[in-house]
Structure 1
Amino acid sequence: MNKSVWKAAAGVTVPVLIGYLFIGIAFGLMLEGAGYGVLWAFFMSVSIYAGSGQYMGVSLLASGAALSQVAFLTLMINFRHLVYGLSMLDKFRDMGRRKLYMIFSLTDETYALLSSARVPDGMRSRDFFFAIALLDHSYWVIGSVIGGLAGALLGFDTTGVEFAMTALFLVICTDQWLSSTNHVPAVIGAGCTFVSLLLVGPGNLLLPALGAMIVLLLGLQGKLDKTDERQGEAV
């Protein structure tokens, strides 16, 4: 890939760069506070690369949780990626050998960029998408390492630092809402979550809410695609 691809991808990923550096630093600080050094932060961010999953992993490591518990909680937290994957089937179809990495690197923030970013004229979409995914991953690793080093050298009180992930989700949601004129998926997501909260409570709402979202979004896929096409033509 030439420099123009990386330059274009870097411009698109600036918001993720800022967010990932801060929440990556927060993760590194939490991990260091739990007694695990910067190497743990580096390798977890390279191989796991799941912000909410890694935040959860800090407490699981500290408590000595069983492998079965880790697997179940990871599935619960990352079940939403099933929805992401279904909507990326066409975009990843021509990725070739990069396809496995694209699947691995499909975080919430990368998904948001791949869903909304326009490929520059004369540039192959597969190169542009791969550059976005790889840059986002590098931002997360760098932030985690900085946090681990800062925690080891300076020492921090990490109380409340885990809210950084929630704050980033709120920013992404707001940006998606403002940049899109089709708010049906967002309304479906919010509605399913609220109904699930009322029916099963805050401790069990995730899977029922995500299941309902998948059913509704798949059922409305044709109408949503036509709406997006009309909006694209209007632009």
Structure 2
Amino acid sequence: MKKTAAPLKALKAAFPHTIPIFAGFWFLGLTYGIYMRASGFSFWYPMLMSLTIFAGSIEFVTVNLLMSAFNPVQALAMTLMINARHLFYGISMLDKFRSCGWKKPYLIFGMCDESFSINYTADIPEDVDKGWFMFFVTLLNHLYWFSGSTLGGIFGSLLTFNTKGLDFVMTAMFVVIFLEQWLKEKNHSSALLGLGLSLLCLIAFGADRFMIPSMLAVLGVLTLLRKPLEKGGEPA
């Protein structure tokens, strides 16, 4: 009984934290599945990709990659460019994942923006196993995305509305993530620096080549200004 009590208690504690993610992931997942079907792919594609990739932005980009000429170098560069933030997520979670045992590989694989946000900031009750809590947060979010994408892929062929512009949901997703972080942070210096540097790189390198320079610029400047920014974020 004790072996099953700990996971069950952790599941009950984790589930309420993931309810807002459920609404967002299901809508985005359905949209992704429909977008894949509208692009000419079978429902197997969004189903398997949401299960094995589990990175919403990359999955949307993969639609264009699958429809264009085979270019593995471009695919690798695009993936690293879009998901570079996960490097910092991983560093932040090193101590939290250290004692998770067999759950650690899955926690690393399934760490998306939303799972990271919950697992890093959640006030986990003392009588709840932290490893199991983080595992269920990650698993539930994964299931939400997988089920939404699969249903979108299955029923997407039955929908007859005009799907032009549906891929804009990816841009909207990043805007929402940015706004959520903006509302959570009291000090907006890092966000403003990121916007300013990205705009400068856009002007200097153009729309097709500004992404990598802007990410390198943001990384370099924020690294140099880390201590002043952390001091500025401390409560008075």
TM-score, normalising length: structure 2: 0.84
- Please name the residue that 1:177 is paired with: 182
Q: Which residue of 2 aligns with 1:160?
A: 165
Q: Measured at CA, do residues 151 and 170 of structure 1 come closer, stay the same or move farther in structure 2, by a change above 3 Å?
A: same
Q: 1:118 to 1:197 in 2, by over 3 A?
A: farther
**1:198 paired to 2:203:** yes
Match of 2:141 in 1: 136
Within the alignment, does 1:118 sit opposite 2:154 as a pair? no
Cα 1:41–1:166 change in 2 (3 A) is same
Tell me which residue corresponds to 1:107.
112
CA distance in 2, matches of 1:97, 1:226: 38
Residue 90 of structure 2 corresponds to 85
Q: Could you tell me how far apart the structure 1 residues matched to 2:201 and 2:143 are? A: 35
Structure 2 counterpart SS, 1:91: helix
Greater mean deviation of Cα atoms: 129-138 or 113-122 = 113-122
User: Sequence identity of aligned pairs in percent?
Assistant: 38
After alignment, is 110-119 or 138-147 more displaced? 110-119
Distance 1:183 1:146 in 2: 38
Deviation at 1:210, TM superposition (A): 2.0
CA distance in 1, matches of 2:13, 2:228: 31
Contact 1:109/1:172 (8 A) holds in 2: no
* Contact 1:22 1:164 survives alignment (8 Å): no
Q: Could you give the per-residue CA deviations for residues 116-158 of structure 1, whole angstroms, max 9, x where no partner exists?
A: 3322332233222221111111111011011111112334432
Change in Cα spacing, 1:125 to 1:213, as seen in structure 2 (3 Å) is farther
CA distance in 1, matches of 2:162, 2:137: 33
Q: 1:8 aligns with which of 13, 30, 47?
A: 13
Q: 1:159 to 1:153 in 2, by over 3 A?
A: same
Q: Distance in 2 between matches of 1:214 and 1:91?
A: 24
The gaps in structure 2 that reach 5 residues or longer are 1-5
* Match of residue 56 from structure 2: 51
Q: Distance in 1 between matches of 2:97 and 2:72?
A: 32
Contact 1:25 1:145 in 2 (8 A): yes
- Flag the 1:25–1:16 CA change in 2: closer, same or farther, 3 A: same
How far is 1:12 from its partner? 1.2
Could you say which residue in structure 2 is the equivalent of 1:210? 215
CA–CA distance in structure 2, aligned partners of residues 18 and 59 of structure 1: 26
Number of aligned residues: 231
**Which ranges in structure 1 are unaligned for 5 or more consecutive residues?**
none
Aligned to 1:189: 194
Whether contact under 8 Å (1:19, 1:168) holds in the other structure is no
Deviations 1:4-48 (A, max 9, x none): 322222211222211111111111111112222212211111111
Contact 2:7 2:132 in 1 (8 A): no
Match of 1:149 in 2: 154
**Partners of 2:95 and 2:191 in 1: how far apart?**
21
Deviation (angstroms), 1:220: 4.8
RMSD: 2.5
When residues 89 and 3 of structure 1 are mapped into structure 2, their CA distance, relative to the original with a 3 A threshold, is same
Counterpart residue type for residue 68 of structure 2:
S
1:94 aligns with 99
C-alpha deviation, 1:64, in angstroms: 4.3
Instruction: Give me the whole-angstrom Cα distance separating, in 2, the residues matched to 1:63 and 1:71.
Output: 15
